[in-house]
Amino acid sequence: MPQLLEYIDAIARKLKRDVLYLEFLRAQRPHRADYRSLETRSRIMQWLDSEGIEWRECGQLASETVMRSYAGEIFINVPFDETDDQYRKVQAFLEYPDCTMRFDDVRFYVVTLEIAMKNAHHDEPGFWERWADNF
């Protein structure tokens, strides 16, 4: 069944803040579509659920020049704030104290609101429909 995912930059604009984002490396797997079988991804989602931390699937940064299929990316609904207990908990789970990743096939990003605002024109009514008509 098809599903509609929000791009991570659209989520940042909607929340009007920097957002946390996980990407799962393709080099570790032969096909993008197999993200559901990634043990690391399942483990992270289970941990987030067990900690009561809200998350959802999302798309990468929106692009008018590149079309990508969904590869398992996750938005974590915790503010990027080093004084926030939930942020520190997420960071400690995903990273070692020296800020290297605990999981080889995961990248932990902050998408700043400043970067997200570069695509603010995507929020105009009908933008993506017009884009598709001209594709």
pLDDT tens track for 30-45: 555 578 888 999 999 9
* Domain range summary for the chain, segments of one domain joined by +: 8-133
Token pair in block for residue 72: 């398992």
- The 10 Å CB-count burial string (b at 16+, else e) for 23-32 is bbeeeebeee
pLDDT value, residue 135? 76
pLDDT tens track for 61-101: 999 988 888 889 999 999 999 999 999 999 999 999 999 99
User: What strands lie across the sheet with 19-24, from one edge to the other?
Assistant: 55-57, 74-76, 19-24, 106-111
Return the H-helix or E-strand segment holding 83: none
| pTM of the model as a whole | 0.89
